Amino acid sequence: MIKLILERIKYAKLEAPVYRMKNITDTKEKKFVSAFLSTRTKDEVTLEVILRIYSNYKTIWGLNKDTIQNLIKPVAFYRVKANNLYRITQKYEDIPEDLESLLTMPGVGLKVAKVFLAELGKSYIGVDTHVHRIANRIGIVQTSNPEQTDRILNEIVEDKLKPEFNTHLVALGQTICKARKVNCSICPIRDICNYNLKTYEQYKHGKAGARGPLHPQHPL
């Protein structure tokens, strides 16, 4: 079922910022910096910042802290992030490619590390509040917090599917399955999504407040 969900989202060719980000982060450093800056920041903003950095510099290694701060200024907590990025460039000659080493870096948490490693094609899933919300809404998991979701997804998702899991679920969340506005009528997985199936049943039985009709059967 998880493989089918990911394939449906992928072939829907959604115009999602996360896909545009993937297209421009074509080096290990870009993948790391984009993951690092993405916390509490919309992908549209992170995308703009990545383009600004690498249209002016080949690398952030060698830049002073003020320059880094000015380059990333639109992102959330840019002063803290600039300071941590500068410390990373001073301490590390290269970006580690294992989870344990990444987690020793200033400002790098589990989600950032796993998103970065997944972008390198390694078998990790970066779980943030968005992936947690969408995975529960679809019915892949039934959990109460991102930490539980992270643990269960790591157990039930095949290793070969893990690198693309975050990207496709985030893409769905950015375009169709938004937190406050869900557009089930154009969703590529609505016939296998718990939220839509439940909503359709509520509508059929005349439940107050139910949205519909959103019949689950549709051409894909």
| Cα 74 off chain centre by | 19
Tokens 């910042």 belong to which residue? 49
Asked whether the beta carbons of 215 and 200 are under 8 A apart, the reply is: yes
Catalytic residue, candidates 111, 114, 122, 181: 111
How far apart are the C-alpha atoms of 83 and 160, rounded to whole Å? 35
| Residue 81 appears among annotated catalytic residues | no
Residues carrying an active site annotation: 111
